[in-house]
Structure 1
Amino acid sequence: MKKTQLFTLLFIAVTIFLAGCSNDKQDEAEKKTELTISAAISLTDALAEIKDTYEKENNVALVFNLGGSGKLAQQIEQGAPTDIFISANQDWMDKLESENFILKDTRADITGNKIVLITGDDSKLEYKAFADINAKDVAKIAIGNPESVPAGKYAQQALQQLEKWSTLEKQLVLAKDVRQVLTYVETGNTDIGFVYESDALVSDKIKVLAAAKAGMHDPIIYPGAVVADTKHEKEAKKFLTFLESDEAQKILNNYGFRK
């Protein structure tokens, strides 16, 4: 083989090798860290916008596992792979903290909410306050299961304070999460329901009758924390810090959340 041909073949081989190394490095640089975030389902719409905003500026892919806070906490206790937990109340976060399932120094209050009473957009009901609810007016009332759904627990506390829980209990339809409550009311399967103000804002099939007054239930606070067995502690902490930023808080405010 002539020297010129040999040189050409060697040059091509080296070029291909270097190109392969370059592509490997590029693929490695472009590979995103996947963060799994178990969050209260009431945050669905706000988190979707936050995801778009955050991923544009950070080399991560946010994956959301949404549901009732109690169910999510139980999944974490059972070993479900999770990097961050955002609860709709303090109780479930307290439980995970006491069991060392979260990194305590990462815990922070992310935002807050309000409980409202809703009905279908064509309903004739004209309640002005929770105290106006009358068992004679409604056949079914949707509420998140107080055992696992914070919104349901807040509503229960309000009704108990008004001494209405026992008189309405037989008419309650327990839902697995607050979005199911919204669906029950939207479809007319229940006459009224208790949801967060943020949930009411995303539906054009319901109307808000009244909001819970201050002191009727525990403060509605959404704490967030990094899960103890995360493999991406640095990235998880960074995202939690972002949730407390003005940029993220503005998005949350647009969806009815208030810190």
Structure 2
Amino acid sequence: MNRRQLFAFVGTMIASLLLTIGSPLLTPSTSTVVAQSNTTLLVSTAASLKDVMEEIKGNYQRSNSGVTINYNFGASGALLQQIQQGAPADIFLSAGKKQVDTLEQSGKLVAGTRSVLVKNRLVLIVPKSKVGVTSFFNLTRDDIKKIAIGEPRSVPAGQYGEQVLQKLGIYNKVKSKLVFANNVRQVLAAVEAGNADAGLVYRTDAKISNKVKTVVAADEKYHSPIVYPMAVLKQSKKVAAAKEFVNYLSTEPAQAVFKKYGFILP
């Protein structure tokens, strides 16, 4: 075998070996497949869903190892404004109907993905040590100096709370006592710390705290329905994965977690 034949033989053997074991140089699609299987979703979510959504995230990622769920928690109105200004998000989960209506009317939702996830109740809370408060009407008393409430323009819980106080005819009497917060969890924190004598939060928020007690739930006829609509956003570059997560939230395992945290199933 001369030198030229030897080089040809060795070249043929190397090529055969690379085809057999696979080479990164010859299989450029390998990294593409891996990248496609590793998907990160950003969910803009109402602050009142923080605890339940964190638990659901763990459950979902254990069953879907190629998907990472990240959350952007905040007041629904603030999240809406972020989305309208172009902030990235794949899914919007609001604590109020109005915010999702706004996006739908402007054509920003993927058709057929909007649904009501869960419902909730609005409750009056006070610090654990507070005694003598038994109804909303007690908020007019002189010893109740600060009432924490979400900013009605951006926080659905604040909007519902304002509606209740107006329907009960006590809004003007307590207006000067109102202390506005950027989201419902800030309301809870203010009451927990004793920085407010009372507050209006969702039943699910009160349930996670051992520093406050629930006085009474607001009659549902005094405020707009408390619903949590969700939808996939058209701006998402991962619509298929976003649809899968949205669908999962309505399955029995996910709904069981919502129920555990005190949410009302639709």
1:76 paired residue number: 83
Counterpart-to-counterpart distance in 1, 2:158 and 2:220: 17
- The answer to whether the 8 A contact 1:129-1:212 is kept is no
Q: Give per-residue Cα distances to partners, 1:37-92, cap 9 Å, x unaligned.
A: 00101000000011011112222111100000000000010011111001101011
C-alpha displacement of 1:17:
7.1
For the pair 1:25 / 2:50, whether they are aligned, the reply is: no
Q: Which has the larger radius of gyration?
A: 2
Map 1:90-169 to 2 at 5 A.
90-124=97-131, 126-169=132-175
- Contact preservation (8 Å) 1:130, 1:211: no
Distance 1:254 1:18 in 2: 50
After superposition, the C-alpha distances for 1:152-182 in whole angstroms (9 at most, x for unaligned) are 0011111000011111111100000000001
| Gaps in structure 2 of 5+ consecutive residues | none
Matching residue's letter, 1:100: G
Q: Partners of 1:35 and 1:69 in 2: how far apart?
A: 18
Measured after TM superposition, the shift of residue 132 of structure 1 is 3.1
RMSD of aligned C-alpha atoms?
A: 2.5
Query: Is the contact made by 1:127 and 1:210 (CA closer than 8 Å) also made in structure 2?
Result: no
Structure 1 pair 71/15, CA: closer, same or farther in 2 (3 Å)?
Answer: same
Map 1:215-226 → 2, pairs under 5 A: 215-226=221-232
Q: Which moved more, 1:195-204 or 1:20-29?
A: 20-29
**214-223 or 64-73, larger mean C-alpha shift:** 214-223
After TM superposition, the structure 1 stretch with the greater mean CA deviation from structure 2, 98-107 or 185-194, is 98-107
- 1:94-143 residue CA offsets vs partner (Å, 9 max, x unmatched): 1111111212421100001111111111222x322223322412110100
The separation in 2 between residues aligned to 1:140 and 1:174, in whole angstroms, is 10
Structure 2 equivalent of residue 36 of structure 1:
42
C-alpha contact 1:83 1:229 (8 A) present in aligned 2: yes
Q: Which moved more, 1:50-59 or 1:66-75?
A: 50-59
Give the match for residue 254 of structure 1.
260
* 1:54 to 2:63 alignment: no
> Which amino acid counterpart does residue 30 of structure 2 have in structure 1?
K
TM-score normalised by L of structure 1: 0.90
Runs of at least 5 residues in structure 1 that lack an aligned partner in the other structure: none
User: Within 1, Cα distance between the matches of 2:58 and 2:146?
Assistant: 38
Q: Which amino acid in structure 1 is aligned with residue 97 of structure 2?
A: Q
Match of 2:51 in 1: 45
Aligned residue-pair number: 258
Distance 1:22 1:197 in 2: 55
